[in-house]
A and B are shown apart, each in its own frame.
Chain A
Amino acid sequence: MKYTFYPGCVSRGGAPELYTSTMAVAEKLGLELEEIVGAACTGAGVLQEKGIKLGDTLNARTFAMAERMGHTTIVNICSTGQGVMAQANYRLLNTPGYLEEINEILKEEGLEYQGRVVIKHLAWVLVEEIGLDALRPLIVRPLTELHIAPFYGCYILRPSWALGIDENPGREQYLEQIIEACGGEPVNFPGRTKCCGFPILMINERNSVAMVGNHTLSAKDHGADAMVTPCPLCHLNLDGYQPKASSQKGTKINMPILHLPQLVGMAMGLSDRELGMHRHVVSTKDVMAKASVRA
């Protein structure tokens, strides 16, 4: 299966293990991911503060490039990028006259967006297109010993109308479904759909780190061995700032945070090197050890 692929800035910057683990898993799944060469940053909600239209134009440009490549489903591995794109697409397709206005700007580059692009996260592609039944035979190391808390964060769920949640209510449960397909046990906890705090990390570190502490500790209290997230920004905060959260809370947290493809790759029997586990701040050794119990 061939898809247009948008890796996003973070998997090429601060979370390179997301990129490599995605590629390793894609190979096992027989997914061909063709990158959109020259696509710009989605704006991540930050550029949109400067002006919604600026962000929407940059994203429409990316969509037009994807259409030109021929496969109109764009696969994201960063749910922030996915959500921002989905919101842009929603406005472009539902605001009368807007698409034409933006296409005026794209014309200078010889591009035109025709409104045919569908934006999906890898999690959605796994469940909706590849199908969990096709994933199951590839699981050689079922994560039977592992209790995993899914951390959705914001952008893969909200606003629900831009993400088609009403038409596909299952999208609120895909992480649980994937965890189960990998043999693990999903853990329900209060932080599941809350904010990781990353967007205010530089503005109000105390509050941001408090969110990290709350979510990781509540996952731990509910019996999680690890958390999994579809967003590398959530990962940067929940993993990278966990030591600070530990000192803020005055207790050792020690909650490993996995990127979604790392979880799937683990169950597929990929090694911790291939999955880039050595790049994590909070060690994943115990998780890997538990995953290997039946290997």
Chain B
Amino acid sequence: MQATLSVRRQDPESQQPSSWMQEYTVEVPEHYTVLDALIKVREEVDPSLAIRCSCRAAICGSCAVRVNGRARLACNTKLTNVTPEHGVVVVEPMGNQPVVKDLVVDLSVFWNKIRAVAPYLQPEGPEPEEEYIASNESMLLLTEVMGCIMCGACVSDCTALEVDSNFLGPAALAKAFRFTEDPRDGADADRLQSLNEYSGVWDCTRCMMCVEVCPKGVAPMDRIMALRERVMDAGMTNTVGYRHVAAFAESVEHAGWLDETMLAVKSWGMFNVPKLIAALPVGLRALKRGKLPMPAPFHKKRPGHENVARIFKRLEGQK
């Protein structure tokens, strides 16, 4: 079959630093992956095309690129699965990381974030005489997270990173989860403390992009949500994030549904006067258009709300 690839090319250090799209058409067998086709292009058509790869078997994590706008491992993406009707497969470098050349990005952005979460065991107490023992169950929980191959696909497509490069991002936060959950690690309190700050667990928008693009089922966002639960359970309550969840839960537990106006007030803090005043224009615009819902005590309860409250009590009790 014929494969047509439209590849974003860029050589930031050259005379012409901005990027352009270049189309290549090559004859390939049906079973070819995007990586196979790119390598064929490099070998037979254009030796100047830069790509990075090694294992060609979805293990080393070096070949992540964007295919039709979504991050994937080029080596485990079959061409036939991503070729649209018009026949052109668009291949671009990963996002949120600077391009070195063509499809090769500078991974230092990725690694610096991983380093920032102290990605190693920090056991406490006296060293055991033999090895540190971890139960099977505790490790089972971690097998998926430990499957991360550091490909950067999640970082590429993270929507929070797109607007704030300080955010630790999905891969590093999943790595942080891996250590907070490890029974051999003794640094939980410090870890949670720093993850509770700006750029940590609360800055994720819950967009699920990382869950969708991760080729290894690491589900970074799910780990970030688990970390939010951990910091809250550890009593770290002085964040807007915590107050937001608490006020949301309180409203649903109390009335069966959401009290949006009270949610805003309580999330920022009842006595956060500057913030509440800053929010006034938005509130007034909403009020003028009949869109500011009446807060408690005017927020009406749903029929059957007492059953909702009962479910809350029962499940809280299980913690």
Contacts and interface: CB of A to CB of B under 8 A. Distances in A.
Contact of B163 (A37, A109, A214, A240): A214
B162 A214 contact: yes
A57 B318 CA distance: 13
Nearest to A46: B248
Most buried by A among B207, B240, B286: B207
9 closest A-B pairs by beta carbon, nearest first, are A38-B304, A195-B207, A13-B293, A158-B208, A9-B258, A210-B163, A195-B159, A38-B303, A279-B289
Nearest to A212: B163
Interface stretch (A121-129, A199-207, A223-231): A199-207
A30 B196 CA distance: 50
Given A40-B308, A51-B315, 11 more contacts: A37-B303, A38-B307, A40-B252, A46-B248, A109-B307, A195-B207, A199-B205, A202-B263, A207-B164, A208-B205, A279-B289
Interface stretch (B105-113, B173-181, B225-233): B225-233
Most buried by A among B162, B241, B258: B258
Contacts of B308: 40, 58, 61
Interface string A156-175: 00111000000000000000
Interface in B183-215: 198, 202-209, 211-212
Interface in B149-182: 159-160, 162-164
B264 interface: yes
A281 interface: yes
A24 interface: no
A194 interface: yes
SS of B interface (majority): helix
Given A45-B206, A158-B209, A207-B203, A202 B159 contact: no
B311 A203 contact: no
Contacts of B264: 202
Contacts of B256: 38, 40-41
A13 B262 CA distance: 12
A71 interface: no
Nearest to B199: A204
23 contacts: A38-B304, A40-B304, A41-B256, A44-B258, A46-B249, A47-B249, A49-B225, A50-B232, A53-B315, A54-B312, A57-B311, A58-B308, A154-B206, A190-B69, A195-B160, A197-B163, A202-B244, A202-B263, A203-B244, A204-B203, A207-B163, A210-B164, A280-B289
Given A14-B260, A54-B311, A200 B160 contact: yes
Contacts of B303: 37-38
Contacts of B24: none
B282 interface: yes
Contacts of B249: 46-47, 50
B289 to A, nearest CB: 4
Interface of B: 69, 159-160, 162-164, 198, 202-209, 211-212, 225, 228-229, 232, 239-241, 244-245, 248-249, 251-252, 256-258, 260, 263-264, 267-268, 281-282, 285-286, 289-293, 302-305, 307-308, 310-312, 314-315, 318-319
B211 A46 contact: no
Contacts of A203: 202-203, 239-241, 244, 267
Nearest to A54: B315
A159 B221 CA distance: 11
A200 B291 contact: no
A55 to B, nearest CB: 10
A208 to B, nearest CB: 8
Number of contact residues on A: which range applies?
A: 35 or more
A10 B290 CA distance: 13
A235 B162 CA distance: 20
Contacts of B263: 202
A225 B159 CA distance: 24
Contacts of B268: 202
Given A105-B314, A214-B162, A244-B282, A51 B257 contact: no
Interface string A270-282: 0000000011110
Contacts of B302: 38-40
Nearest to A48: B225
A16 interface: yes
Given A41-B252, A46-B244, A51-B315, A200 B286 contact: no
Nearest to B198: A204
A13 B255 CA distance: 14
B257 A12 contact: yes
A105 B248 contact: no
Interface in A89-129: 105, 108-109
A208 B207 CA distance: 12
A199 B202 CA distance: 10
Contacts of A154: 206-209
Most buried by B among A108, A204, A240, A281: A204
A194 B232 CA distance: 28
Contacts of B212: 158-160
Nearest to B245: A49
A279 B290 contact: yes
Given A40-B252, A244-B282, A159 B202 contact: no
A15 interface: yes
B162 A49 contact: no
Most buried by A among B232, B268, B307: B307
